[in-house]
Amino acid sequence: MSQAPVFSQTILGSSTIISADANTLLLLLSFLSPNDPVPLDLLSRGATPRKRWTAYGEIEEFSAEKSGLSPELSSLLSDDSRICDAIAELKRRSVVTESEQMYTADEEVASQLRASLSVESRTFWKYQALIATYRAFPWKYLESLTPNTPLFLTRLTHTFRTLSNNFLTLTPPTITDLAQTLLEASRFLNIHWKHFAIY
């Protein structure tokens, strides 16, 4: 994982310093769907192993790192204690709001943070947001649905579109996993979203 840039003091204030975990989480939230709350379980599910069918009809676990999620981000999102501490810190700074375990980054702060990054860093975080989001979806017959599963669709659509079909840096197994997950996710919405998932 590229070194996460230090959060600009001109955004939070000259005397404000935030932890590395809070900085990383704020970066991720800034690249998830703007203005739409992000369920806590999307973050945790996106970083933990997911069950997948193999070519031989067997079940295997597909790790977040194998999908392309950075080890540092995977470690943070899969650790309940660390992520809760980071969220609490961001809430104290008034840059993240919470409602029923749904979290939204301040729109102005998120916009300024994205603008402060290099093109390379923005692309990196777009991929990280996509990987964390698509991996949160449960596959039929392998994993149980969660109450928030349908809410993942908005974030998946947004993160997918921000890459403008530029998926060249994803590994072939990850591209296959993403394509299959898009088809899995299409069972949660109408024909318009199914058309988006296919094309």
Average pLDDT over the chain reads 83
Q: Is residue 140 part of a domain?
A: yes
Mean pLDDT computed over 13-30:
83
Q: Is residue 144 part of a domain?
A: yes
Q: 118: domain range? A: 19-198
Q: Is residue 24 part of a domain?
A: yes
Q: Is residue 9 part of a domain?
A: no
**pLDDT (tens digit, 9 = 90+) per residue, 71-124?**
999 999 999 999 999 999 999 999 999 998 899 999 999 999 999 999 999 999
User: Does pLDDT of 70 surpass 50?
Assistant: yes
User: Does pLDDT of 5 surpass 70?
Assistant: no
Q: Is residue 13 part of a domain?
A: no
Number of domains in the chain: 1
Pairing of strands 96-98, 102-105: antiparallel
What is the per-residue pLDDT for 9? Answer: 41
Q: Is residue 35 part of a domain?
A: yes
Q: In Å, what is the CA distance from 120 to each residue of 100, 114, 125, 139, 145?
A: 34, 11, 9, 32, 35
Q: Is residue 1 part of a domain?
A: no
